[in-house]
Amino acid sequence: MVLANLIGGFIVILVGVTLLPTVADEVEAAQGGNVTGAASTVLDLTTIFFALGIMAAGVSLAVGGLRNAGLV
């Protein structure tokens, strides 16, 4: 079970890092339209929050696996 959590965390991080350029490209394409002011600022933050979400999910799975193993 511990190994499964660690592998799951690794897979989440791997998939997230793989999708990060796609998300960044789509955000850039969305800003090509009529986006100004606060909407533009929030749209810029989308990539950062996606990266933070992937990082948090991967870290929580890894810490959970290590905690179950008694290492944390």
CA 63 to CA 61: how far, in whole Å? 6
Residue with tokens 């350029």: 21
pLDDT tens sequence across 43-62: 989 999 999 999 898 888 87
Render pLDDT for 7-21 as a digit per residue (tens, 0 to 9): 887 888 899 999 999
Q: Say if CB 40 and CB 31 are below 8 A apart.
A: yes
List Cβ neighbours of 5 (8 Å cut-off, separation of 6 or more): 61, 62, 64, 65, 68
Q: Which two tokens mark 60?
A: 């929580």
pTM over 0.75, yes/no: yes
